[in-house]
Amino acid sequence: MRPTRSSRRAAIAATVAAAALLTATACGSGGGGKTADPAAPGFTFASGTATPGMVPDGAGPAMPGMTSAAGTSATGAPAPAGPDAVTIDNFAFGPGSLTVTAGTTVTWTNKDEEPHTVVANDGSFRSPTLGTGATYTFTFAKPGSFAYVCSIHPFMHATVVVTP
């Protein structure tokens, strides 16, 4: 038996109403100034904050490879600069190709307002999500060419060339 036009309209209206109710509830706008249910599931990131990749002032590194609060821009200090530094700005890694010797530690600093990551194509290194001002360091122990991308924005790519 084929549904009638009015039963289809009623089904669509019920679906739209249910979606609106779920959206309002999920967004915390259930009306009446109600607060979020403390028993509701939430997210806790490795840093212990509500923002992935960020470190509370003085709390130390959020994840391995991320520099600690002392001397990083994650807490407002100046970002590292120099020949072994890569800047993430305007959705690009700069420089696009960096040449270092084996044993060199490279520091990436996110100067964008958007979060980014630093992920090697070969899986040899992977940063946490870096918020504005956050840094990530990696020490290149062996020679080779290491292409990497931002896993959030895969059109962002660059290379570190490591010489002996």
pLDDT at 80: 62
Q: 135 pLDDT exceeds 60?
A: yes
Q: What is the rounded CA–CA span in Å between residue 70 and residue 161? A: 28
Mean pLDDT along residues 127-152: 97
Which carries the bigger pLDDT value, residue 34 or residue 12? 12
Residues in the chain, total: 164
DSSP 110: E
pLDDT in the model for residue 62: 41
3-state class (DSSP) for residue 25? helix
Q: Where are the alpha helices (DSSP H) in the chain?
A: 5-26
Burial of 129 (0-12, 13-18, 19+ CB in 10 A): buried
**Higher pLDDT pick, 155 / 65:** 155
Q: What DSSP character marks residue 159?
A: E
- Phi then psi for residue 12, to 5 deg, are -65, -45
Best-predicted range by mean pLDDT (9-13, 66-70, 96-100): 96-100
Confidence check: pLDDT of 127 > 50: yes
d(CA 4, CA 112): 54
**For residues 141 and 1, what is the distance between their CA atoms, to the nearest angstrom?**
71
pLDDT-derived band at 71, boundaries 50, 70, 90: very low
Residue 4 is predicted with a pLDDT of 65
Beta carbons of 77 and 116 less than 8 angstroms apart? no
Residue 103's pLDDT band (boundaries 50, 70, 90)?
very high
